[in-house]
Amino acid sequence: MAPENLPATAGPTLPDCLRHWADTDGDRPAVTFTDFATDRAGRRRTLTWKQLKDRVDAVAGALPVRAGDRVAILCPQSAEYVVAFLGAITAGAIAVPLFDPGLPGHAGRLAAVLTDCSPTAVITTAAAEDAVREFLAGLPGGEHVTVVAADKAGPVRAWPAPAARPDDVAYLQYTSGSTRSPAGVVLTHENVLANVRQAAHGLGIAPTGTTVSWLPLFHDMGLVLGLITPLALGMRSVLMDPLAFIERPVRWLELLGDHNGSWSAAPNFAFHYAASRVREEDRAKLRLDRVAAIVNGAEPINPGVLDRFHETFAEAGYTPDKTRPAYGLAEATVFVTTGPGVPPRVTTFDRAALGAGTARPSDDGLKLVACGVPVGQQVALVDPETGVALKDGSVGEIWVHGPNVGTGYWQKPLESTETFGARLTGDHEGLPDGPWLRTGDLGVRYDGEVYIAGRIKDLLIVDGRNHYPQDVEATAASADRDIRPGSVAAFAVEGTDTEAAVVVAERRGHSALTTEDERTLAAAVRRLVSDAHGLALRDVVLVPAGLVPRTSSGKIARSACRDRYLAGDYGKALVR
């Protein structure tokens, strides 16, 4: 579909959208945060569009920034996060959506990102201000960063903020995972609002609906669904803390049922978690017939999980057509493909044929969920080695071209050119030469829809979160001197419902460790990885030196190590 035929947003920039709704519908509720930390029943705090704009303007006025300065958002999940994010952009700065230092297991990543983006100012809350200042004091130059509390903004600056333009950078979306080489996707107002229009049409989002989200606002899907889409379309946004969902997933479903025509999004693990943890007596009270749709994305989609979710909540009024499988990534703002309002389409492909690069239906094999079609952008399946566009039914790397694709990675010109500047070769009638975004993901277009077949990159995606294996490996290697540095492999394996992470590590010396020593060593690895990455390992396998495979250039061959693990070449794991 041509961009000119997509639904309109309230303005060409995010501040324009906020100004429009404050001026035309100022007394209508804009954002509601449901606080389960102070009230188990959920204390609701609502800002109207006019109140939101006034709060945003106050924060913008308190920021001593110039156009192009970076402002990091270090707020907990709250209405203040929305105010802080929009306040930074309204001030003419580039927002960097992050999290407060109190989030367990993320201190290393936060420090790396702050070092990479070099913010002039940080916005937090009054309650978190002391912790933020203490954290900044431990970073190079951190003592020079201005700290502003979104809920007690200081005096207004003397100069007016410049008017934003569509091609101005709105924010940097740092991709999940790496603490050693953080990559901030540069997204303009035009990129972001184009993606809202694409998603709104592809999903059929009605502006009269309400978005309900527990996803972190520093996550690309959480930010776009929970903040930017409602802002652009004038919808009401209802937010809750991710921890509140983990504690009682029924809270998410209850909020969805409180609003007619409600929308949400969640990774595959959340569907499994909700189906497993919501009690029968709680299910009986749910009103899921009021739900418009829930997008399933951000990690591989398990068909069995969808079946279980649909069966579990059928009596509450939830029907399979409300589930919308989708594919996307931060480099394309978030949404790339999504399906129509019909039950998810599951196709069984011959496993061997798919591994060889061809999608061939089979009665027995690998079941994949269709992730729909692109809207307002183009997707090509490409041979990653030659750059040649492949015909339908062939497995290739997913390349994306459209106005929603970011301009590159923050201050990383070489990586930006490699990822965002790809060009097709050979015959590609109807497709532009470039530039194309290389996603690093493998997929296939079959019978008109895109299926995700796997990943070229070794990224671990567990419970909806990305983890770079080299980071996990470095952490595991530091757990004990008996683990050989540079001889650790981390990879993902299929679990019952979601993917899980495994670490295989070589131990020093040739003498065998006792079972108790192995358990102690493995427990240290698990604890350190959990603390550093928030990642629970499914298995830790300790092997003699030389058994972790490497490539010809000496790099850890993670895929080969995974194959050996699944084949049982390492024997029965001592620790599970």
Determine the residue type at 302. Answer: N
Tens digits of per-residue pLDDT, 95-153?
A: 999 999 988 877 888 999 999 999 999 999 999 999 999 999 999 999 999 999 999 87
CB 496 within 8 A of CB 487: no
In whole angstroms, what is the distance from residue 503 CA to residue 526 CA?
9
In whole angstroms, what is the distance from residue 140 CA to residue 118 CA?
10
Backbone angles phi, psi at 122, to 5 degrees: -130, 140
Determine the residue type at 104. Answer: P
- Residue 573: per-residue pLDDT: 44
Q: Exposed, middle or buried, 538 (CB in 10 Å: 0-12/13-18/19+)?
A: middle
What pTM value is reported for the model?
A: 0.82
How confident is the prediction for the chain on average, in pLDDT? 91
- Residue 4: per-residue pLDDT: 52
Higher-pLDDT residue of 458 and 315 is 315
**pLDDT grade for 574, boundaries at 50, 70 and 90:** very low
Higher-pLDDT residue of 416 and 469 is 416
Token readout for 91 is 């001030």
In whole angstroms, what is the distance from residue 281 CA to residue 279 CA?
5
Give the number of residues written for the chain.
576
Tens digits of per-residue pLDDT, 473-499?
A: 888 988 988 898 778 999 999 877 778
Tens digits of per-residue pLDDT, 238-282?
A: 999 999 999 999 999 999 999 999 999 999 889 999 999 999 999
- Residue 550: per-residue pLDDT: 74
- Residue 3: per-residue pLDDT: 55
Residue 177 has pLDDT above 70, yes or no: no
CB 348 within 8 A of CB 364: yes
Query: Residue 350 carries which DSSP code?
Result: -
Residue 532 has pLDDT above 90, yes or no: no
- Residue 180: per-residue pLDDT: 45
Average pLDDT over residues 347-359: 86
> CA 256 → CA 88, 253, 344, distances in Å?
30, 5, 20
**Which residues share a beta bridge with 348?**
367
- Residue 555: per-residue pLDDT: 62
- Residue 8: per-residue pLDDT: 84
In whole angstroms, what is the distance from residue 203 CA to residue 436 CA?
24
Tens digits of per-residue pLDDT, 190-205?
A: 999 999 999 999 999 9
Name which CATH class applies to 3-324.
alpha beta
Name which CATH class applies to 460-567.
alpha beta
Interacting residues of 498 by C-beta distance below 8 A, sequence separation 6+: 268, 269, 272, 299, 302, 305, 462, 463
Higher-pLDDT residue of 11 and 177 is 11
Query: What is the domain partition of the chain in residue ranges?
Result: 3-324, 345-455, 460-567
**pLDDT grade for 362, boundaries at 50, 70 and 90:** very high
Tens digits of per-residue pLDDT, 55-82?
A: 999 999 999 999 999 999 999 999 999 9
Bond before 435 cis per omega within 30 degrees: yes
Q: Which string of DSSP letters, residue by residue, matches 112-181?
A: HHHHHH--SEEEE-TTTHHHHHHHHHTSTTGGGSEEEETTS--PPPSSPPPPP-TTSEEEEEEPSS-SSS
- Residue 361: per-residue pLDDT: 96
- Residue 510: per-residue pLDDT: 59
Share of the chain above pLDDT 90, in %: 73
Out of 1.10.340.30, 2.40.128.20, 3.30.930.10, 2.30.38.10, which CATH number does the structure's domain 345-455 have? 2.30.38.10
